[in-house]
Amino acid sequence: MLKIFKKTYSPTILMAGLLALSATSQADLISDAATAMQSAKYPQARTLFQQAAKNNNPLGSYNLALMAENGQGSPADPDTAKNWFEKAAKFKLVEAYNAILAGAIKPAGNQRIAIIETPEEWILAQNPNHYTLQLASSTNIKLIEKYYGQNDLRGKAGYYKNRRRGEDWYALIYGAYPSATEANAAIQTLPRDLRKWSPWVRRMKDIQRLVK
């Protein structure tokens, strides 16, 4: 079970379990930093998050952004927060992308950040070893687009086209989970509107093959 500390639009601390990390030491840095945050040891937490960020870990950048935004350990600094959010968004971290949307943050200068623009890009940005929930499928793309828009799924979900029996089908998927067990458990936590078509678990890499 992932441990998340709630904030209005995103976790105050995004734990390492939300992304596949390249090494155990990276996961340990984030975990130790989260522990320091719980104890209000902000200088220690900042140092650990900075070490992670130097190793191109978007979780480090994201949490540094939140510390700067919230004034944890130093006065609040919106400009620094913006810079760290942008660094995390370069790695297509959905939470960083949502933070940018929520704060109407724009990249500085001519810097181009790799954020998720389309539902298919969201799918391709996910860890192929994770699992997702297929919410709905239809031959009517307008129905899928309406469902996607009405439920405010941008940055949380994607949809793609698949050819079956001579027809184009469009499937909507939601979320990315490290294991099939966690994906199954997540079904019960979905809003009723997202459960009404009986979501089922799929492997992300299988869907990414179809998109590519």
| pLDDT bracket for residue 6 (50, 70, 90) | very low
Q: One-letter amino acid identity for 12?
A: T
CATH number, domain 119-211, options 3.30.360.10, 3.40.50.410, 3.30.70.1060, 3.30.70.1070: 3.30.70.1070
Fold of 16-103: 1.25.40
Residue-wise pLDDT tens digits, 56-89: 888 888 889 989 988 999 999 988 998 998 888 8
pLDDT of residue 3: 29
Residue-wise pLDDT tens digits, 164-174: 888 999 999 99
pLDDT of residue 159: 94
Per-domain residue ranges for the chain? 16-103, 119-211
Higher pLDDT, 77 or 116: 77
